[in-house]
Structure 1
Amino acid sequence: MRVGAARAAAVRWVAEHARPAPGYRGAYFSGSTVGRPDDAELAPSSDVDVVVVTAQDEPPAKPGKLRYEEALLEISYVPWAELRDPAAVLSSYHLAGSFREDTVIDDPTGRLRALYADVSPHFAERSWVRRRCLDARHRVESRLAAFDASAPFHEQVTAWMFPTGVTTHVLLVAALRNPTVRLRYPAARDVLTAYRRPELYPELLGLLGCADVSERRVRRHVGELARTFDATVPVARTPFFFSSDLTAQARPIAVDGSLELLDRGEHREAVFWVVATLARCHTVLAVDDPALHAARLPAFEAAVAELTGITGTADVLARREEVTRFLPRLWTAAEDIMAADPDVTGKSGDALPPHRPLC
C-alpha cells in the first residue's frame, strides 16, 4: 500500500469515527510517515499514526492498532491541554515533530494550524532542539530511577529496557530525526554514521547486551516470540496501554517486522522489540492466564538471558548503572550532532513563540 492511500484511509476514519465523539477538537498525523511522499511504499510492518485531540483532560483509552480499508492505523488521543502552549510543545520530544510540517487532518477550531504556525519556524532552532534532547535524557534518568526491584522479572525487564532504548532518541532528536519506536536502533546507527561517531553504536547495543549476539540465536527466539504472541492474543482481556500491540492486527509489526529486520541483516537491531514484546506478553499473561504465563516463562527467561545477558534482578540493576554512567558521553555526542547539523540553526530560540497560549 502507498503512504498516500493509507493517509487517505486515515482521514476517512477520523471523519467517521473520531469527529462525532464528544469533546473532539481535531486530528493530526504523527510518527514515521510524517514527511514521507504519498507515492512511497508503506511496508506491512509499518502503520500510520493518527493523534486525535480531545477537550477531555483524561482521554479515553486509545483504540491503538486497527485495520481500516486495508490500512493499518495506530490511533491515540492527546488532551488539548497538552498542546495549548507552543513553547511546551517545542520542548517535548514526542510532540514537537508532528508540527514541524503541516500534519493536520482535521481542525474544526483552527487551533492545530495555529499551533503549527507557531512551532514550525522554531523547530530547528538550537535551544529548542537542546530542550527536546534534555526531555529525552530526563525520560531515561527518571524512568531508570523509578525502577522497582521487587516487581516480577518481566516487569523489571520492561522497566529497564524502555528507558535504555530512549538513549537512541536523544541522538535522533539532536539530528532532527523522528524518534521512532520499533526501529530506533537502526535509525540511531544511521545518525551516528552520518555524524562520524560510529564508535558509539556498539556501546548503545552493549547497554542492551546484544552487541555480539548471533543472527541464529535471535532468529530462534523470534520463533519463541511468535509462539508466545499467538498464545497471548486469544486470552488477553485486561486493558493495558500497550494492548493494541498484542492483537492479530499488530502481528505484522510485532513478529513479521522482527523477521524483516533479520532478513536484512539487522538481527542485533531486532533484539529490542523482540524482548520488549515478549515482556509485554508476559505482563498480560500473568494477569489473564497465569498457567500459560508459567508455561511460557522458561522461553522468556532464556530469550532475555541469551539476547541481553540478563538473568535476574542483580543484572538489571548493574545494567541500569551502566546506562547512567554512559549518559554524559551520550550527551556530548548529542551536542556534537547539534553543532554539526546544518539544519539546526544558531538562533537563540529563547523567546517564546507568538500567540501563546492557544486557548
Structure 2
Amino acid sequence: MRVDTARAVAVDWVRERMRADPSVEGALFSGSTVGLPDDAELPVWSDVDVLLVRDSPGVKVGKFVHRGVLLEVSSVTWAEVGEPEDVLGSWVFAPMFRTDGVIADPSGRLAAVRRRVATGFADPVWVRRRCAGVRRRIEDGLRVLDAGAPLAEQVLAWVFPTSLVAVWPAVAGLVDPTVRRRYVRASEVLAGHGFGGRYPQLLAAVDGGGVGAGRVREHLAGLAVVFDEVARLPREGFAFGADLAVAGRPVVFDGGAALVAAGRHREAMFWVVVTYARCLVVLGAVAPERERALRPGLVAVLADLQVVSAADRRRRADAVLASLPGWQSVVDAIVARAVAG
C-alpha cells in the first residue's frame, strides 16, 4: 500500500474519533511515516503512528487494523507538548512537526508549533539542545541499574538507554530516529557523514560483537511462541501493551525477518530482546508461573548478547558511559555538517 493511501485511512479514523470524542483537540502523524513521500510503499510490517492531543491525559488507544492499515494511536496532553520552543528542544517531539504532519487542528495551536519548528529545526542551537537531551537520557538511564528488579525489567532498563547511543547521531544528523529501526538509521547517518567506521562499536554495545543470522532466526521462532501467548492475555496498564497485541505481530516478526534477510540480523536482535523482555514483564504480572517457564528463552538471548548477569549489564553500561565523550565528538561533527547543509 502507498503511504498516501495509508495516511488517508488514518485521517478518516481521526475524524471519526473526534466526532465521537470531544476531548480530542488535535492530531498529528508521528513515527516512521513522518517525512516519507506519498508514493513510497508502506511495508506490511510498518504501522502508521498517530498522536492525539488532549487537554487532560487520555488512554492509549493502541495498535489495531483499520480498513487494512495498521494504526498505532497514542495520546499526549498540551502540557506535554509544551510551547513551540519546548518542542524545538525535544528530540522526541520536534521531528513530528518539521513536516506538515498535522491531521486535525481546530484551535490552530498545532499549526503555530509547526511553523516555529519548521523554521528553526536545523538551527544549530536547537539541534545541540536536542542532542544534549539524548545524552542526558543515556546517562540517567545507565548510571542507576536496579540489580534487584525482576530480570525482564532489568533488561529493559539497560537496553533502552544503551540503544539511545544510536539515536544520538541520528538526531545530530536531522534524521528522525525511529524506535525499532534506530540502529539502521544510525548506520546510515554515520556512513553519510564519514563515520561509518564507528558503527561496529555502536552495535557491539548492545549485542557484544554479533550473533549469527541463523541464531537470530531461532530466537525469533522462540519469541513467537511467547508473543502469541502474551497476546491472548490482558495487558491493560502496560505502556507497551499495544505492541504485544495480535495486530502488532507483523511489526515484530515480518519486520525482524526482513532485517535478517537484508543482512541486518544484528540490528534485528535489538527488537528481539526488547520484545522478549516486554512479554516476560506482562507474564510476571499476570501469569507468574508462565514467566518462570518461559524465562529461559530470554536468558538464551541474553547469553548470546553476553549480558546474562546484572554484573555483565553493569559492565556494559559502564563501558557505554565511558564512551560518551568520544561519541560527543562524533555528534558535534555531524551537527556541524548537517546544519551547514
Q: Tell me the percent identity.
A: 45
Match of 1:328 among 303, 322, 325: 325
Query: Take 2:152 and 2:195, find their aligned partners in 1: how far apart are those partners?
Result: 33
Shift, 1:24, TM fit:
2.0
Is 1:294 the counterpart of 2:292 in the alignment? Answer: yes
* Deviation per residue, 1:314-350 (Å, 9 max, x gap): 1111111011011111111110111122xx159xxxx
Is 1:121 the counterpart of 2:119 in the alignment? Answer: yes
Shift, 1:82, TM fit:
2.6
Contact residue 54 and residue 77 of structure 2 kept, 8 A: yes
Contact residue 25 and residue 80 of structure 1 kept, 8 A: no
Moved more, 83-92 or 129-138: 83-92
Query: Take 2:317 and 2:326, find their aligned partners in 1: how far apart are those partners?
Result: 15
Is 1:313 the counterpart of 2:326 in the alignment? Answer: no
Match of 2:62 among 44, 64, 79: 64
Residue equivalent to 1:304: 302
Contact residue 104 and residue 113 of structure 1 kept, 8 A: yes
1:1-359 correspondence to structure 2 within 5 Å: 1-56=1-56, 59-306=57-304, 308-341=305-338, 344-345=339-340
Q: TM-score, normalised by structure 2?
A: 0.97
Which stretches in structure 2 are left out of the alignment for 5+ residues? none
Q: What letter matches 2:309 in structure 1?
A: G
- 2:45 alignment partner, SS class: coil
Contact residue 65 and residue 247 of structure 2 kept, 8 A: yes
RMSD after superposition: 1.3
Q: What letter matches 1:262 in structure 2?
A: V
Query: Take 1:116 and 1:238, find their aligned partners in 2: how far apart are those partners?
Result: 33
Contact residue 205 and residue 211 of structure 1 kept, 8 A: yes
Shift, 1:238, TM fit:
4.1
Q: What letter matches 1:2 in structure 2?
A: R
* Deviation per residue, 1:210-242 (Å, 9 max, x gap): 433211111111111111111211123442000
Query: Take 1:121 and 1:19, find their aligned partners in 2: how far apart are those partners?
Result: 32
Q: TM-score, normalised by structure 1?
A: 0.92
- 2:76 alignment partner, SS class: strand
Query: Take 2:29 and 2:324, find their aligned partners in 1: how far apart are those partners?
Result: 31
Contact residue 224 and residue 299 of structure 1 kept, 8 A: yes
- 1:199 alignment partner, SS class: helix
Which stretches in structure 1 are left out of the alignment for 5+ residues? 347-359
* Deviation per residue, 1:106-129 (Å, 9 max, x gap): 111011111111111010011100
Q: What letter matches 1:53 in structure 2?
A: V
Greater helix share, 1 or 2? 2
